[in-house]
Protein backbone atom coordinates (compact mmCIF):
# COMPACT_ATOMS: atom_id res chain seq x y z
CA UNK A 1 0.00 0.00 0.00
CA UNK A 2 1.29 3.53 -0.76
CA UNK A 3 2.78 5.58 2.07
CA UNK A 4 0.34 7.91 3.79
CA UNK A 5 1.79 11.42 3.45
CA UNK A 6 0.94 14.51 5.48
CA UNK A 7 0.08 18.00 4.30
CA UNK A 8 2.83 20.64 4.19
CA UNK A 9 1.49 24.19 4.53
CA UNK A 10 3.23 27.46 3.67
CA UNK A 11 6.72 27.97 2.33
CA UNK A 12 9.77 26.17 3.67
CA UNK A 13 12.99 27.95 4.64
CA UNK A 14 16.55 26.64 4.98
CA UNK A 15 17.53 25.46 8.44
CA UNK A 16 20.66 27.48 9.13
CA UNK A 17 22.03 24.99 11.65
CA UNK A 18 21.57 21.94 9.46
CA UNK A 19 24.56 20.28 7.82
CA UNK A 20 22.36 18.01 5.69
CA UNK A 21 20.29 20.55 3.78
CA UNK A 22 17.23 20.34 6.03
CA UNK A 23 14.47 22.93 5.84
CA UNK A 24 12.09 24.43 8.39
CA UNK A 25 8.43 23.91 7.50
CA UNK A 26 4.94 23.42 8.87
CA UNK A 27 2.47 20.56 8.74
CA UNK A 28 -1.28 21.04 8.86
CA UNK A 29 -2.89 19.53 11.96
CA UNK A 30 -6.28 19.17 13.61
CA UNK A 31 -5.99 20.14 17.28
CA UNK A 32 -8.14 18.18 19.74
CA UNK A 33 -8.66 19.02 23.42
CA UNK A 34 -10.71 17.82 26.38
CA UNK A 35 -14.23 19.20 26.72
CA UNK A 36 -17.46 18.48 28.60
CA UNK A 37 -18.65 15.74 26.23
CA UNK A 38 -15.24 14.02 26.16
CA UNK A 39 -13.27 14.80 29.28
CA UNK A 40 -10.44 12.41 28.35
CA UNK A 41 -10.26 13.00 24.59
CA UNK A 42 -6.56 13.96 24.49
CA UNK A 43 -5.55 10.88 26.49
CA UNK A 44 -7.74 8.62 24.34
CA UNK A 45 -6.23 9.96 21.12
CA UNK A 46 -2.69 9.62 22.45
CA UNK A 47 -3.12 6.05 23.72
CA UNK A 48 -5.06 4.83 20.69
CA UNK A 49 -2.44 6.31 18.38
CA UNK A 50 0.42 4.57 20.18
CA UNK A 51 -1.38 1.24 20.28
CA UNK A 52 -2.24 1.52 16.58
CA UNK A 53 1.36 2.29 15.65
CA UNK A 54 2.55 -0.81 17.52
CA UNK A 55 -0.06 -3.01 15.82
CA UNK A 56 0.37 -1.57 12.35
CA UNK A 57 -3.17 -0.17 12.15
CA UNK A 58 -3.46 2.48 9.38
CA UNK A 59 -4.32 5.59 11.41
CA UNK A 60 -3.31 9.21 10.97
CA UNK A 61 -0.29 10.02 13.14
CA UNK A 62 -0.71 12.52 15.97
CA UNK A 63 1.37 14.01 18.76
CA UNK A 64 0.72 15.80 22.07
CA UNK A 65 1.08 19.56 21.67
CA UNK A 66 1.10 22.78 23.66
CA UNK A 67 1.20 26.43 22.56
CA UNK A 68 4.38 28.40 23.15
CA UNK A 69 2.33 31.12 24.85
CA UNK A 70 1.00 31.16 28.40
CA UNK A 71 -1.83 28.80 27.38
CA UNK A 72 -0.39 25.48 28.54
CA UNK A 73 -3.48 23.39 27.84
CA UNK A 74 -2.49 20.00 26.46
CA UNK A 75 -3.83 19.19 23.01
CA UNK A 76 -3.55 16.31 20.59
CA UNK A 77 -2.39 17.35 17.12
CA UNK A 78 -3.64 14.91 14.48
CA UNK A 79 -1.51 15.62 11.42
CA UNK A 80 -3.71 16.20 8.39
CA UNK A 81 -3.27 13.73 5.53
CA UNK A 82 -2.24 15.09 2.13
CA UNK A 83 -5.15 14.23 -0.16
CA UNK A 84 -3.91 16.08 -3.22
CA UNK A 85 -3.55 13.71 -6.16
CA UNK A 86 -5.66 11.04 -4.48
CA UNK A 87 -9.17 10.03 -5.45
CA UNK A 88 -10.34 9.90 -1.83
CA UNK A 89 -14.00 9.01 -1.35
CA UNK A 90 -15.71 11.37 1.09
CA UNK A 91 -17.52 9.14 3.57
CA UNK A 92 -18.39 12.24 5.63
CA UNK A 93 -20.61 13.72 2.89
CA UNK A 94 -24.37 13.35 3.02
CA UNK A 95 -25.40 10.12 1.30
CA UNK A 96 -28.51 10.79 -0.74
CA UNK A 97 -28.48 7.48 -2.59
CA UNK A 98 -30.86 4.65 -1.82
CA UNK A 99 -28.74 1.49 -1.43
CA UNK A 100 -31.38 -0.41 -3.37
CA UNK A 101 -31.25 2.08 -6.24
CA UNK A 102 -28.57 0.27 -8.21
CA UNK A 103 -28.23 -1.87 -11.36
CA UNK A 104 -30.35 -5.00 -11.37
CA UNK A 105 -27.25 -7.19 -11.60
CA UNK A 106 -25.60 -5.63 -8.53
CA UNK A 107 -25.02 -8.13 -5.72
CA UNK A 108 -27.28 -7.77 -2.66
CA UNK A 109 -25.91 -6.03 0.40
CA UNK A 110 -24.75 -8.39 3.16
CA UNK A 111 -27.43 -9.22 5.71
CA UNK A 112 -26.85 -7.37 8.97
CA UNK A 113 -24.64 -4.73 7.37
CA UNK A 114 -24.49 -1.39 9.19
CA UNK A 115 -26.36 1.18 7.06
CA UNK A 116 -27.15 3.96 9.53
CA UNK A 117 -24.36 6.22 8.23
CA UNK A 118 -25.19 5.58 4.57
CA UNK A 119 -22.64 4.98 1.80
CA UNK A 120 -23.57 1.29 1.75
CA UNK A 121 -22.27 0.54 -1.76
CA UNK A 122 -19.08 2.50 -1.14
CA UNK A 123 -18.56 0.57 2.10
CA UNK A 124 -18.82 -2.77 0.32
CA UNK A 125 -16.29 -1.56 -2.26
CA UNK A 126 -14.01 -0.40 0.56
CA UNK A 127 -14.07 -3.85 2.18
CA UNK A 128 -13.40 -5.56 -1.14
CA UNK A 129 -10.47 -3.31 -2.01
CA UNK A 130 -8.92 -3.13 1.46
CA UNK A 131 -9.95 -6.40 3.18
CA UNK A 132 -7.03 -6.60 5.61
CA UNK A 133 -7.08 -2.93 6.61
CA UNK A 134 -10.83 -2.87 7.28
CA UNK A 135 -10.63 -6.05 9.34
CA UNK A 136 -7.63 -4.81 11.31
CA UNK A 137 -9.32 -1.52 12.05
CA UNK A 138 -12.64 -3.09 13.04
CA UNK A 139 -11.03 -5.50 15.53
CA UNK A 140 -8.89 -2.69 16.95
CA UNK A 141 -11.98 -0.49 17.43
CA UNK A 142 -13.75 -3.23 19.36
CA UNK A 143 -10.73 -3.63 21.62
CA UNK A 144 -10.45 0.08 22.49
CA UNK A 145 -14.23 0.56 22.73
CA UNK A 146 -14.56 2.91 19.77
CA UNK A 147 -18.22 3.39 18.79
CA UNK A 148 -17.40 6.41 16.63
CA UNK A 149 -15.69 4.86 13.60
CA UNK A 150 -18.58 5.57 11.21
CA UNK A 151 -17.37 8.22 8.73
CA UNK A 152 -14.04 8.64 10.57
CA UNK A 153 -11.95 7.02 7.85
CA UNK A 154 -11.02 7.75 4.26
CA UNK A 155 -9.92 5.66 1.31
CA UNK A 156 -8.74 6.01 -2.25
CA UNK A 157 -11.53 4.05 -3.92
CA UNK A 158 -11.02 5.33 -7.44
CA UNK A 159 -7.44 4.15 -7.91
CA UNK A 160 -6.98 1.30 -10.38
CA UNK A 161 -4.76 -0.51 -7.90
CA UNK A 162 -4.81 -0.36 -4.12
CA UNK A 163 -4.39 3.20 -2.93
CA UNK A 164 -4.35 4.82 0.50
CA UNK A 165 -6.80 3.87 3.25
CA UNK A 166 -6.54 5.42 6.71
CA UNK A 167 -8.53 6.07 9.89
CA UNK A 168 -8.74 9.28 11.85
CA UNK A 169 -10.24 10.47 15.11
CA UNK A 170 -10.03 7.97 17.96
CA UNK A 171 -11.16 10.66 20.43
CA UNK A 172 -14.34 8.80 21.42
CA UNK A 173 -12.64 5.61 22.53
CA UNK A 174 -11.05 4.31 25.75
CA UNK A 175 -11.63 6.77 28.62
CA UNK A 176 -13.51 9.09 26.25
CA UNK A 177 -16.06 6.56 24.97
CA UNK A 178 -18.44 8.32 27.35
CA UNK A 179 -18.39 11.87 28.70
CA UNK A 180 -16.66 11.01 31.99
CA UNK A 181 -13.79 8.72 32.89
CA UNK A 182 -15.86 6.70 35.35
CA UNK A 183 -18.68 6.04 32.88
CA UNK A 184 -16.13 5.13 30.21
CA UNK A 185 -14.48 2.56 32.47
CA UNK A 186 -17.90 1.07 33.21
CA UNK A 187 -18.58 0.63 29.49
CA UNK A 188 -15.14 -0.81 28.78
CA UNK A 189 -15.66 -3.42 31.50
CA UNK A 190 -18.65 -4.85 29.61
CA UNK A 191 -18.01 -7.79 27.25
CA UNK A 192 -20.89 -6.63 25.01
CA UNK A 193 -19.46 -3.16 24.33
CA UNK A 194 -19.41 -1.85 21.61
CA UNK A 195 -22.62 -3.29 20.16
CA UNK A 196 -21.98 -2.45 16.49
CA UNK A 197 -19.32 -1.44 13.96
CA UNK A 198 -19.68 0.13 10.49
CA UNK A 199 -17.60 -2.68 8.98
CA UNK A 200 -19.70 -5.47 10.48
CA UNK A 201 -20.59 -8.29 8.07
CA UNK A 202 -18.12 -6.82 5.54
CA UNK A 203 -14.82 -8.11 6.92
CA UNK A 204 -13.02 -11.38 6.32
CA UNK A 205 -12.88 -13.84 9.22
CA UNK A 206 -9.29 -14.86 8.49
CA UNK A 207 -8.02 -11.29 8.73
CA UNK A 208 -10.10 -10.64 11.84
CA UNK A 209 -8.69 -13.75 13.49
CA UNK A 210 -5.14 -12.68 12.68
CA UNK A 211 -5.67 -9.28 14.31
CA UNK A 212 -7.30 -10.83 17.37
CA UNK A 213 -4.23 -13.05 17.71
CA UNK A 214 -1.91 -10.06 17.30
CA UNK A 215 -3.72 -8.05 19.98
CA UNK A 216 -4.04 -10.94 22.45
CA UNK A 217 -0.33 -11.68 22.10
CA UNK A 218 0.66 -8.03 22.47
CA UNK A 219 3.20 -7.84 25.33
CA UNK A 220 2.11 -6.22 28.57
CA UNK A 221 5.04 -3.78 28.47
CA UNK A 222 3.80 -2.37 25.16
CA UNK A 223 0.28 -1.78 26.49
CA UNK A 224 1.72 -0.33 29.70
CA UNK A 225 3.98 2.09 27.82
CA UNK A 226 1.06 3.26 25.66
CA UNK A 227 -1.39 3.79 28.52
CA UNK A 228 0.62 5.05 31.50
CA UNK A 229 2.71 8.17 31.92
CA UNK A 230 4.51 9.85 34.80
CA UNK A 231 1.97 12.61 35.22
CA UNK A 232 -1.64 13.58 34.62
CA UNK A 233 -2.53 13.74 30.92
CA UNK A 234 -5.18 16.40 30.45
CA UNK A 235 -7.90 15.29 32.87
CA UNK A 236 -6.64 11.71 33.28
CA UNK A 237 -4.72 10.91 36.45
CA UNK A 238 -2.06 8.22 36.79
CA UNK A 239 -4.59 6.07 38.69
CA UNK A 240 -7.00 6.25 35.76
CA UNK A 241 -4.17 5.47 33.34
CA UNK A 242 -3.36 2.30 35.26
CA UNK A 243 -7.06 1.41 35.20
CA UNK A 244 -6.99 1.78 31.40
CA UNK A 245 -4.08 -0.62 31.20
CA UNK A 246 -5.87 -3.16 33.39
CA UNK A 247 -9.08 -2.81 31.37
CA UNK A 248 -7.33 -3.36 28.03
CA UNK A 249 -5.69 -6.51 29.40
CA UNK A 250 -9.12 -7.77 30.48
CA UNK A 251 -10.73 -6.85 27.15
CA UNK A 252 -8.22 -9.07 25.36
CA UNK A 253 -9.86 -12.06 27.04
CA UNK A 254 -13.26 -11.59 25.43
CA UNK A 255 -12.15 -9.84 22.23
CA UNK A 256 -12.51 -12.98 20.11
CA UNK A 257 -16.09 -13.54 21.24
CA UNK A 258 -16.92 -9.87 20.63
CA UNK A 259 -15.52 -10.07 17.10
CA UNK A 260 -17.54 -13.22 16.35
CA UNK A 261 -20.75 -11.62 17.59
CA UNK A 262 -20.40 -8.16 16.01
CA UNK A 263 -18.25 -8.43 12.91
CA UNK A 264 -18.73 -11.90 11.44
Q: How is residue 10 annotated by DSSP? A: E
The pLDDT score that the predictor gives to residue 105 is: 62
| Euclidean distance between CA atoms 146 and 196, whole angstroms | 10
Task: Answer whether 212's CB lies under 8 Å from 182's CB.
Answer: no
Residue 140 has pLDDT above 90, yes or no: yes
How does residue 99 score in pLDDT terms, banded at 50, 70 and 90? Answer: low
The pLDDT confidence band at residue 103, using thresholds 50, 70 and 90, is low
- Residue 93: what pLDDT? 81
- DSSP bridge partners of 89: 155
Give residue 98's pLDDT band: very low, low, confident or very high (50, 70, 90).
low
So what's the pLDDT on residue 22? Answer: 97
Q: How many CB atoms lie within 10 A of CB 242?
A: 13
Lowest-confidence range among 28-32, 48-52, 151-155, 182-186?
Answer: 151-155
Rounded to whole angstroms, the Cα distance separating 136 from 121 reads 20
pLDDT digits (tens, 9 = 90+) for 205-216: 999 999 999 999
* DSSP per position, 94-157: -----TT-S-TTSPPPPTT---TTS-HHHHHHHHHHSHHHHHHHHHHHHHHT----TT-EEEE-
Strand order in the sheet with 165-167: 88-89, 153-156, 165-167
DSSP string for 182-251: HHHHHHHT-TT-S---TTTTTS-HHHHHHHHHHHHTS-HHHHHHHH--SS-BTTB-HHHHHHHHHHHHHH
Query: Is residue 74 within 8 Å of 64, Cβ to Cβ?
Result: yes
For 172-181, the pLDDT digits (tens) are 999 999 999 9
pLDDT-derived band at 161 (thresholds 50, 70, 90) equals confident
d(CA 60, CA 162): 18
CB 198 within 8 A of CB 114: yes
Amino acid sequence: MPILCYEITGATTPNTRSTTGAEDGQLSAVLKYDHAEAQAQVYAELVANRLAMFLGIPVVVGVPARASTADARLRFAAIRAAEGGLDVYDFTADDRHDPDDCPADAPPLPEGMYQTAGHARAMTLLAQKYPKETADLAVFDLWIGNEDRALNFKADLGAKDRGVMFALDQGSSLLACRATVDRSLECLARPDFPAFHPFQKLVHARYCGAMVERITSMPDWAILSATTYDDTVGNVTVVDQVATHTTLIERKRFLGALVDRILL
